[in-house]
Amino acid sequence: MEYTGGSFKANHLCVLVHGLWGNPDHMRSVAKALRDAYSEEKLYLLVAKRNTGSFTYDGIELGGERVCLEIEEELEKIKSNGGKITKISIVGYSLGGLVSRYAVGLLEMRGLFNGIEPMNFVTFASPHLGVRSPLKGWANQVWNVLGARMLCMSGRQLFIIDKFRDTGRPLLEVLADPESIFISGLRKFKRRTLYANITNDRSAVYYTTCIAKTDPYTDLSKVKANFVEGYDSVILDPLNPVTPLVSHGDDKPMADIIAGAPRDLRLTIFLATVIAILPLGIVALVANSIIQTFRSAKRIRLHESGLAGIQVTNYRSPIWIKDIRGTVEDIYESLNNSQRESYLRASDGEQHSKQLNKAEAGIIAMERKKSHPQFPTLALAPSQFVMINELDKVGWRKYPVWIHHDNHSHAAIIVRSDTPRFKDGLVVLRHWITEEFLI
């Protein structure tokens, strides 16, 4: 990519990390926006490339180690050419946001932030809480178990069914642990900003990209959107994004409109979607999953044995502070998009907590009591509620984004390709560069 690099006189390094099925070219518009705003003498760009394409199947841990190595190699290259980087920013898109959070922990562990000031940590449409659907009952078992096995190691981690190393806990839960190097490193950034699509994101829905317990955008006809001045119709006011429209007495709360829809109808919609997609490509998806799982496992074995170009022992110190591609993507997104959210309501009984341990049941009971009729709490997993609480303590500047001109908002939010349909994404990038990025 032509935007990678810069002058060795620059003292600020900005790293861009693409997402699942992605490649460096996906970050072209992000890199161009930065370069248009800042010269090569002010800002040095590194577009990470070691996780290109099917390599994104290998998991967040391995991906983070690759990105960390790329950063260290680039810093050494700059230093050997007489340059000196004193500031660093990291930008992650989609899965790249999670890979970046892992890399931040490794950079913290290796002492990089002792000599280089962390400036901006930014994510666009990144599933910070994973991608499991907020569902109850058998639909939970079908999609959240089946979906996890379509994306190899990355899928297990995104659906929160993995066990990270010897912790016995999912990787995403560990990434949000306040005692981990990952949160310690994240805290050191001067600014943490995220942008989240409120609608039409078929890959990562609002609650996970915005680290939220509720989704006030399920029925946009029931709310009035409040936009940031100068970015009308695209960037919502983070402090007051929507105002509920006046009820006319016979209107039902959002929980009843969506979560309370007839159960048989909701299940029928899910089954109809699966049946409709089945002849169109589910066989290709399953076949690809088997092939990629085999290839990914082989790459992981080589990586673990040190035969993939990375000395893994350099990145495997204790994680605790105290111990210091096209068709397949479309099919997966269509299946993921067919899910409908479920909610926790104060009037619910305890029947959905039977399979939880005492601590998990306690978390769900507490969140159920706090659920509001207008914007009810989503039926997330206990670990996801814990992640939200801990990540919010770190402090984020959260911007909901409304993409209007294309129904593939996941790609449009960063203008993943040069098409007029993604023009709303240019507004997102302009807002980020102008209002949020600290040079």
Element (H, E) at 263: helix 263-277
Q: Enter the pTM of the model.
A: 0.81
pLDDT at 144: 64
The torsion of the CA quartet 14, 18, 19, 21, rounded to 10 degrees, works out to -160
Dump pLDDT digits (tens) for 229-243. Answer: 999 899 999 999 999
Tell whether the model's pLDDT for residue 331 goes beyond 70.
Answer: no
* Residue 6 located in a structural domain: no
Candidate from 13-27, 147-161, 283-297, 418-432 with smallest mean pLDDT: 283-297
- What integer is the mean pLDDT of 73-83? 97
Local confidence band at 261 (pLDDT 50, 70, 90 cut-offs): very low
pLDDT at 340: 57
pLDDT at 76: 97
Are 29 and 416 a contacting pair, CB within 8 Å?
yes
Say what angle helices 28-37 and 423-431 make with each other, to 10 degrees. 50
pLDDT at 153: 74
| Residue 397 φ/ψ, nearest 5 degrees | -100, 105
* Residue 7 located in a structural domain: no
* Residue 53 located in a structural domain: yes
Coil, strand or helix at 204? coil
**253: left (phi > 0), else alpha (psi -120 to 50), else beta?**
beta
- In 125-262, which residue ranges form alpha helices assigned H by DSSP? 138-146, 152-158, 171-175, 181-187, 206-209, 254
Which position has the token pair 């969140």? 367
Coil, strand or helix at 124? strand
d(CA 389, CA 366): 13
Write out the residue range of the structural domain in which residue 119 sits: 12-436
* Residue 239 located in a structural domain: yes
- Find, among 170, 21, 18, 160, the residue nearest to 100 by Cα: 18
Dump pLDDT digits (tens) for 108-133. Answer: 999 999 999 999 999 999 999 998 87
The torsion of the CA quartet 76, 81, 87, 90, rounded to 10 degrees, works out to -60
Could you tell me which residue, 107 or 146, shows the higher pLDDT? 107
The torsion of the CA quartet 413, 417, 418, 419, rounded to 10 degrees, works out to -70
Q: End-to-end CA distance of the chain, in Å? A: 22
Are 403 and 197 a contacting pair, CB within 8 Å?
yes
- Give how many domains the chain has, as a whole number: 1
d(CA 231, CA 21): 30
Could you tell me which residue, 1 or 394, shows the higher pLDDT? 394
* Residue 91 located in a structural domain: yes
* Residue 363 located in a structural domain: yes
Local confidence band at 342 (pLDDT 50, 70, 90 cut-offs): confident
d(CA 334, CA 292): 20
Dump pLDDT digits (tens) for 299-319. Answer: 656 656 666 666 666 766 667
Cβ count within 10 A of residue 123: 26
* Residue 4 located in a structural domain: no
One-letter identity of residue 360: E
Q: Where are the beta strands (DSSP E) in 98-254?
A: 117-124, 191-197, 223-225, 242-244
* Residue 3 located in a structural domain: no
- Find, among 22, 333, 56, the residue nearest to 204 by Cα: 333
Candidate from 204-213, 372-381, 415-424 with smallest mean pLDDT: 372-381
